[in-house]
Structure 1
């Protein structure tokens, strides 16, 4: 299938590499299509194995009490994997645990990987499920110890042998090579650094010759998104130019997509990367403010973002990227609802009918044919769909995200739609909960939070008490 590939499986005390530990390792290595070694061992995780894991795997504390620790087998494992592609079912899980274990002993573990879940999907696209249990059932595999490391490795090997028989060696090889292929990187980009990119949420920054970023982006899968920038099939000449100018990159992991969106928005506004045109802060961001009195002239005034009081949004309508967009939107609303453009402040002059009245597009508040009270009421009704929402909480709230794979927990604190900061532990949460901060409204944050709060799965913490 590949010149050298080692199929590996791990059993662990849990699902989080930064907190849990390995309890068993099994691997089978092939060189030039021939099995060259087979190795398995229990590992002392140096922590209790939870009862649920014991019942699932059959590995208990007594079984691993006299087993070697990971540090004691690390050198041997490195030798067994040297020069070979690491293949595993959901390889991100196994690779993540190996990297964490090696990191604990001061070793930076790097290797090429192949995911046999993805390989199964390519080889058998007609099937929905590609987990080990589904493969065992699909290929009628019997007599293997499920949830033990070597048993799971052997299940994958049987699946691949069936694929060679059913589809042919060349198709299996082509599928593996397709998964292994990666975009051609510019010569100045460290390929080993690319290998460290996690398949997890976060923000990435591309740099040119200096410390000012060329581009800042976010993704729920940093590895896939960053690599997509190096594809030969560039989406635009701008993207091709950007990757040619790029000399290095870095990334910041987050607990989820919302955390990545907030961080991306803040970094773009702070650092103004030249290729982030859409997210770069525009000083023209604005909203329409309705005057408090029915007879006020004009009824609506355009206010810019810096003038908005986040605690008083009841008289604000719309979130516009420019004065032009705000005016065009209001003109359309006036036309649809037969509002007076002069009373709205869109046409100069105070006396006499507006131009729209002459075309029967205004009900005549400008010339006494409609009361100012009725016109003001119709204005509010016409704008109601654009009304900014008042803060629905008694005080501060926290939006919590947790990523199981990197064990990262982030709580984002807000008050009156204003982002106050992120807490990663109880101390920083308490600090944000009690600090007094001048509230500065940001329309991008308002939109992000509004969308997040509309999702039923969002975890909202009441921090007002």
Structure 2
């Protein structure tokens, strides 16, 4: 009698697709072991309550007719939980199956958590001389006999056969020790060398997830190691997290002097390299803003200006910024409806007479002579107040000093007119700093946040 772990369940799922937040389980097959003895096995089709695509039907052999009268996941969940009770969940690319189970349980209001063991990783550790560790490769390598690939119980039996061969060839103690080691590293995706992650320090910085040939994702944290591990412990609550876990091959990190340095570096890297899974902080085309006339009777009251035309030392009556002209107009139209503003006075409608919004009783009547220009102008400023751009409150350049005591890194982040000019470590680098101000909306937000903190050290840079 030989054993892998004191108590474990080998499991395989068939599904309607590859995305656990959108697709559903169509079949479950599992075998439970305790102290090296097979306690029992369970196999059931599942009604996914959605259509199975022709491609998936051909791949798995599971047709729509086969599942139409099968139990739903909600109907078998208690039975499944009994089979998995107190056991380590083992599967080939286990985070795929675990992600589906987590999401299926979540849909019926149950939080599901298990210890995991991936047989892909087990094969990699036990047989590092082989390039491929897919189930098909393992079947071919050990000349295993599989009656029907991509059916849950048949694939589960192939995992059991692989474990038995490995124990026979390499010895029970070797396989057990490898399994115990992997249990300690269970949060790491299959394609990623665990050394890449376990050498990441607990300090402030930026991390980069690389695939085979592309940058997948860039993030930042005041605790790099914790944040990176947290990515892999999310159990694929989103399709993005699952794709990252499937595609990641290498982790790179860069230590920074502090939180602001990490924010600035993350933003710069995302805009420069456009990682596949980053949606925020993307590179922006020229931004624009609304400038309100100081004359309440001006027609139109607002002018759309580019961010390059903004005088950041005098931003009175400037509101924004907006990524596109379309966004700026959408915001203005929305505010006009909410505050009863006149479309013609704003320049949103041309022609003479009362505006169309007044006919719909959305405009309070400036165009019909029912209110004064001054009253309308003040209401416009109130409506736009949430978008008010603040004037640069300094006479010239400033620096914000940050120090990372863990690595004795000190930097001064240099700003002018809300623009980040660069980060320097000494006076020589400061003397050589010659970047032109280039407004970035994310940098503006970061700087507003940090200037309001009492512990931030601001240095006035006279003569630069």
TM range (shorter): 0.5 to 0.7
How far off its partner does 1:354 sit? 1.1
**Contact 1:309 1:441 survives alignment (8 Å):** no
How far off its partner does 1:427 sit? 1.8
Between the aligned partners of 1:194 and 1:385, the Cα distance in structure 2 is 42
Between the aligned partners of 2:337 and 2:191, the Cα distance in structure 1 is 57
Q: Does 1:461 align with 2:455?
A: no
**Contact 1:308 1:441 survives alignment (8 Å):** no
| Secondary structure of 1:203's aligned partner | strand
Between the aligned partners of 1:238 and 1:181, the Cα distance in structure 2 is 25
**Contact 1:319 1:443 survives alignment (8 Å):** yes
What residue number does 2:50 align with? none
**Contact 1:357 1:363 survives alignment (8 Å):** yes
What residue number does 2:207 align with? 204
Between the aligned partners of 1:445 and 1:398, the Cα distance in structure 2 is 14
After superposition, the Cα gap between the structure-2 partners of 1:306 and 1:240, relative to the gap in structure 1 and judged at 3 Å, is: farther
What does the per-residue CA deviation read over 1:202-229, in whole Å, with 9 as the maximum and x for residues that have no partner?
Answer: 001111222x411111111111111222
What does the per-residue CA deviation read over 1:316-341, in whole Å, with 9 as the maximum and x for residues that have no partner?
Answer: 21334455553343334333433212
Between the aligned partners of 2:295 and 2:449, the Cα distance in structure 1 is 32
After superposition, the Cα gap between the structure-2 partners of 1:188 and 1:206, relative to the gap in structure 1 and judged at 3 Å, is: same
Which structure 2 residues correspond to residues 41-52 of structure 1 after superposition, within 5 A? none
After superposition, the Cα gap between the structure-2 partners of 1:289 and 1:251, relative to the gap in structure 1 and judged at 3 Å, is: same
What residue number does 1:339 align with? 341
What does the per-residue CA deviation read over 1:424-462, in whole Å, with 9 as the maximum and x for residues that have no partner?
Answer: 123213433xx3x43221111111101111111111111
Q: CA RMSD, aligned part only? A: 2.6
What does the per-residue CA deviation read over 1:23-53, in whole Å, with 9 as the maximum and x for residues that have no partner?
Answer: xxxxxxxxxxxxxxxxxxxxxxxxxxxxxxx
Q: Structure 2 residue aligned with 1:269, among 260, 268, 271?
A: 271
After superposition, the Cα gap between the structure-2 partners of 1:359 and 1:213, relative to the gap in structure 1 and judged at 3 Å, is: same
**Contact 1:183 1:228 survives alignment (8 Å):** no
What residue number does 1:37 align with? none
**Contact 2:340 2:363 survives alignment (8 Å):** yes
Between the aligned partners of 1:378 and 1:237, the Cα distance in structure 2 is 44
The farther-off stretch of 238-247 and 353-362 is 353-362
Between the aligned partners of 1:182 and 1:191, the Cα distance in structure 2 is 7
What residue number does 1:375 align with? 376
What residue number does 2:396 align with? 395
Between the aligned partners of 1:205 and 1:296, the Cα distance in structure 2 is 51
Q: Does 1:227 align with 2:225?
A: no
How far off its partner does 1:356 sit? 2.7
Which structure 2 residues correspond to residues 282-321 of structure 1 after superposition, within 5 A? 282-283=284-285, 285-305=287-307, 308-321=310-323
TM-score by length of 1: 0.55
**Contact 1:398 1:413 survives alignment (8 Å):** yes
How far off its partner does 1:358 sit? 2.8
What residue number does 1:33 align with? none
How far off its partner does 1:255 sit? 1.4
Between the aligned partners of 1:228 and 1:363, the Cα distance in structure 2 is 52
The farther-off stretch of 366-375 and 190-199 is 366-375
Q: Structure 2 residue aligned with 1:250, among 252, 266, 273?
A: 252
What residue number does 2:239 align with? 237
Between the aligned partners of 1:355 and 1:418, the Cα distance in structure 2 is 41
**Contact 1:400 1:461 survives alignment (8 Å):** yes
What residue number does 1:414 align with? 415
What residue number does 2:29 align with? none
The farther-off stretch of 263-272 and 326-335 is 326-335
What residue number does 2:39 align with? none
**Contact 2:234 2:241 survives alignment (8 Å):** no
| Secondary structure of 1:270's aligned partner | helix
Q: Does 1:448 align with 2:449?
A: no
How far off its partner does 1:277 sit? 0.9
Between the aligned partners of 1:358 and 1:312, the Cα distance in structure 2 is 38
What residue number does 1:191 align with? 194
Q: Structure 1 residue aligned with 2:185, among 182, 194, 201?
A: 182
Which structure 2 residues correspond to residues 138-153 of structure 1 after superposition, within 5 A? none
Between the aligned partners of 1:194 and 1:181, the Cα distance in structure 2 is 13
After superposition, the Cα gap between the structure-2 partners of 1:294 and 1:318, relative to the gap in structure 1 and judged at 3 Å, is: same
After superposition, the Cα gap between the structure-2 partners of 1:272 and 1:308, relative to the gap in structure 1 and judged at 3 Å, is: farther
What does the per-residue CA deviation read over 1:283-326, in whole Å, with 9 as the maximum and x for residues that have no partner?
Answer: 37543222354443322233454554544432321334455553
Between the aligned partners of 2:374 and 2:457, the Cα distance in structure 1 is 43
Q: Count residues with an aligned counterpart.
A: 283
Unaligned runs of 5+ in 1: 1-176
After superposition, the Cα gap between the structure-2 partners of 1:226 and 1:370, relative to the gap in structure 1 and judged at 3 Å, is: same
Between the aligned partners of 2:193 and 2:343, the Cα distance in structure 1 is 60
**Contact 2:397 2:415 survives alignment (8 Å):** yes
What does the per-residue CA deviation read over 1:394-440, in whole Å, with 9 as the maximum and x for residues that have no partner?
Answer: 111111111111111111000010110001123213433xx3x4322
What residue number does 2:126 align with? none
**Contact 1:397 1:461 survives alignment (8 Å):** yes
**Contact 1:182 1:227 survives alignment (8 Å):** no
Which structure 2 residues correspond to residues 128-167 of structure 1 after superposition, within 5 A? none
| Secondary structure of 1:398's aligned partner | strand
